[in-house]
Structure 1
Amino acid sequence: MKINSTVILTLVLLTLMLGAGSVSAFLGFTMGSSALKGVSSPDGRPTTKFSSSNNNKVQQVGITLLKEEDIIKSTKARIQENKTAKKTTQDNDEIKPQKTKTTEKQEEVAQEKLKPGFPIVSDSEGVSMSVQSVRYSGGDLLVRVKMQNQGADSVRFLYSFLDVTDDKGRTLSAITEGLPAELPANGPTFTGTISIPTALLDNVGSISLALTDYPAQKLKLQVSDIPVEK
């Protein structure tokens, strides 16, 4: 009897333990399932990841293709604009020199009409030198001179031989500009300027110019009593 009661007690204890274990396992499974609801495992497939990434890029960037006709029209329009701009620039460049020449001619005419009594002319052996006008500019007196050779032979000059004197007989320093070193026979009229520093002309009423050819020194061009009063 003692053996049977011990066996029965052991079986009962085992049954209770199994039952308790089964209940614990069921409860644990149930609680775990509830906790993991809404959670999905990550997609570990590389091909899926790459394909989804490429699709996103294509959707974000987008490509717009232009029509061939639109490209041709745009190119022609730009070429035409460049041609028009270039032509306008060329026209302006051509107009500017013309305006400059006209202005210079007007200034020359105005300079020649500054004072009465001009031009003052000197002739020698078919060569003439004439003073057209005088004017003060900056710190210099500008004497505008024209020269022409109507003789049969060309004539050469060294303007270092040009004598400039005032009405008191004093020699004045001067700089020539634009006057030719040689006057051709039956040639055109040449125009130049003789510049004299204003500081040398204090209390001076008139000046004189004297020039001879080089090396023959056969000519004697002399223009006297050129008024220079301010």
Structure 2
Amino acid sequence: MRINSTVLLTLVLLFLMLGAGSVSAFLGFTFGSSALKGVTTPDGRPTSKFASSKTNPQSGAVAFLKEEDILKVVKSRIDGKTKAAKSDETNEDDEDINGKKQKPEEKPPQVVEEKLQPGFPVAAENEGVTLSVQSARYSGGDLLLKVKMQNKGADSVRFLYSFLDVTDDKGRTLSASTEGLPADLPANGPAFTGTVSIPTALLDDVKKISLALTDYPDQKLKLEVSNIPVGR
């Protein structure tokens, strides 16, 4: 009796396990089917891919050009650039020709003689050495005398311009400075031009001035230029 009860209990447990497994399997299938509704598997067949590419031309497939078409395009572009370059060269040549035709002939510059002020030049000469005042003008608070010196004698002459005496028409001595005048005048040399500057403040009511210069160090040669008009 004990054996029969054991077998019976075993069978009951087996049936319960089978029933529970069946129920769980059914529930799992039901839930899985409901969760996979609307989900489809991808089409992995190669034939279907080729068919879809043929039916859909806008799918992004690369279209290859023929070699003949590429060569034609390149040749046409080269011909176009060559024609454009030739036309540019032709235009440049035409511009050069027109420029040469329109360019007037250059004339040699004309030598304009310096227009002298009334009463100028005022000059003095001694033993072939000449001292002349070419013009007088006021600028920047100074009276500027344009002076020209030349030595046509046989011997060179040296000057020290700190010995230059400047006096007005009332006999007063005026301070002056020189610029551009040479220290040595060579024999039979060219003319040299410089400037003698006198402060304007010293020339109130002065109409004329005089310059006196001697050579250095012998002081044998004396140049005196008198009555230089400086009135304003």
Task: Kindly provide the CA deviation profile for residues 59-117 of structure 1, in whole angstroms up to 9, marking residues without a partner as x.
Answer: xxxxxxxx9xx9xxxxxxxxxxxxxxxxxxxxxxxxxxxx9xx9xx86x824xx22x22
Question: Equivalent residue for 2:129?
Answer: 127
Question: Equivalent residue for 2:212?
Answer: 210
> Structure 1: where are the runs of 5+ without partners?
40-66, 71-98
For 1:90-129, list aligned pairs within 5 A. 109-110=114-115, 113-114=116-117, 116-129=118-131
1:109 aligned counterpart, secondary structure: coil
Residue 118 of structure 1 deviates from its aligned partner by 1.3
CA pair 179-5 structure 1, distance change in 2 beyond 3 A: closer
Residue 27 of structure 1 deviates from its aligned partner by 2.9
Aligned with residue 198 of structure 1, among 197, 200, 209 = 200
CA pair 200-8 structure 1, distance change in 2 beyond 3 A: same
> Structure 2: where are the runs of 5+ without partners?
43-77, 82-108
Normalised to the residue count of structure 2, the TM-score between the two structures is: 0.62
Question: Equivalent residue for 2:183?
Answer: 181
Q: Which amino acid aligns with 1:109?
A: E
Normalised to the residue count of structure 1, the TM-score between the two structures is: 0.62
CA pair 8-147 structure 1, distance change in 2 beyond 3 A: closer
Does the Cα contact within 8 Å between 2:153 and 2:187 map onto a contact in 1?
yes
Cα distance in 1, alignment partners of residues 120 and 144 from structure 2: 14
Q: Report the count of equivalent residues.
A: 165
Q: Which amino acid aligns with 2:16?
A: L
Cα distance in 1, alignment partners of residues 10 and 123 from structure 2: 164
Does the Cα contact within 8 Å between 2:148 and 2:192 map onto a contact in 1?
yes
Question: Equivalent residue for 2:159?
Answer: 157
Question: Equivalent residue for 1:22?
Answer: 25
Task: Kindly provide the CA deviation profile for residues 103-137 of structure 1, in whole angstroms up to 9, marking residues without a partner as x.
Answer: xx86x824xx22x2211111111111111111111
CA pair 201-38 structure 1, distance change in 2 beyond 3 A: farther
CA pair 18-173 structure 1, distance change in 2 beyond 3 A: same
Task: Tell which structure's C-alpha radius of gyration is larger.
Answer: 2
1:140 and 2:117 are equivalent in the alignment = no
CA pair 117-15 structure 1, distance change in 2 beyond 3 A: closer
CA pair 214-5 structure 1, distance change in 2 beyond 3 A: closer
Cα distance in 2, alignment partners of residues 146 and 37 from structure 1: 115
Residue 24 of structure 1 deviates from its aligned partner by 2.5
